[in-house]
A and B are shown apart, each in its own frame.
Chain A
């Protein structure tokens, strides 16, 4: 066994040292009836690297790789080009195989990365401070609502119909078990919600998404002020973090909390995870924040250094009185995010965001020119909704057969609803040829009459 350094001779001499007759003897506190007599049945024995590669390689080959075909999927996960540098640095064993930096003297690398990550997230969202990351955007959203409940001492959240349904469901699941009210508005593919009308003196927060799940971008400045006038917080969710490179950030609109998904920077699609939740707040709420925080300090010789701080909010100190039960962040994904953002810099991030928007505008025009197709958005970043004359799920299946991943049918997110709507995302990875191929295939499918 290549991962086990003990030799049989080692084991024998160690058994003597511990005065045991066998390894099994060391398990004598386990009830006899529950001890297996030997290696467990029903599973194969050990394999060499070559065999494992062959087996997993066969499974991997059964999937249609997004990068091998024109791909226009978004809905909370975006395929961006990740510079080669990112993955090489992430795989340095000193980052990859370190534990949570509880011993700061031997963890300054991870700690400085987290301090820089927090600063980058604060800058991107336009907020005062950010934490060291959450599991993903959806759990970040649910934690934001619970934080608003703590801050306002109220227990009702209003969730916009533009919020990603997975984010909504994670929040309503928590609401059911943790004990607060989450009022989820119906899906709003064309907007037109009156969120403010629902805010009363029991409302802790209003949750909106920008761009929303249908791709619409909005200015929430007035809503933020109006919420705050009623004693409620405004939480802005962002699922496409690259949009922060171009749009007025939530902080400038007056958001109290930003909960976002950071996958777009540095992280591959990975069939949905692991990703990295971003969480940023106004200064005055720092001590109500969930999750880990890294702070600056000095060492015994007076030199600048970094430590995990304000841990008196956390479970390992506070136990049942903690602000949340979270014990992990998304360290390595946060590192990948941070390296990618560092490579982009101010000039790169602006250009990349503009590039995504411009390509999306081009794609929207190409699709609008397909007979029977209507683009629903006036304003969008790199994703928009189109209305088709046929059920979107069937159209997407047909496109997949032609080796085009043509977006996410809205009915995949809202079963049985809005079956004619399709979400289309465009990034810098999509070429002109990809876009033309998509428009041409769609024209053909819609014109064929087979699906009607």
Chain B
């Protein structure tokens, strides 16, 4: 039963046990990954051979730590850049979308709204292949008609950005819309009445109000982009993003460097998540 009702001891205990099991299930793989990042062994497995930082800082021929592992470092840098542009694009377009669907009226609005939701139901793999095919068709068309070789149409950095943006923008639109729906539109009228034009109203009043939602969705967009695999898999060119790069390594046998990277990712994203939570709590208070 619920906390305000009396319940039997067995009920309480078994429920508690279940929750403990659930959390073990949740954290076991992450914990093991982190711990093995510090094992002084050539393989990410037990037995424990002693504590070492070498998988982070080492620079020996047989043991290259992550800080000296150029390929992995490069892929992190690619991911950082991709995520930056994806966030920028999806937050700006998603915010436009929120304004469009919440505040404007036009014909075919339900159709467009449905289209906006579509990326939620399209598997990421399909998004990836359809964008890949379409860009290739466009590329061939440009080349045959105008003898133009447009780099954007080949798998690579910008195609990855576009592919990830295509569904992350939906997420931003939904998050910002939810907040915009709570906005009291008389505030806009009040600002108009005090002499602000439409642009100033949006800038000083509406966007200020939306700020927590925009910042929150930007953080989520960044993380989603940083971790995306399914869509990216088909669009990636010579510059592999971190998940793609890690996938190739994991598939072909792994070293504790992957644990070290995972450790950094776990710590980094946890801190980011905590910070995001902290600030969003603070904003809403």
Whether both chains belong to one complex is answered with: no
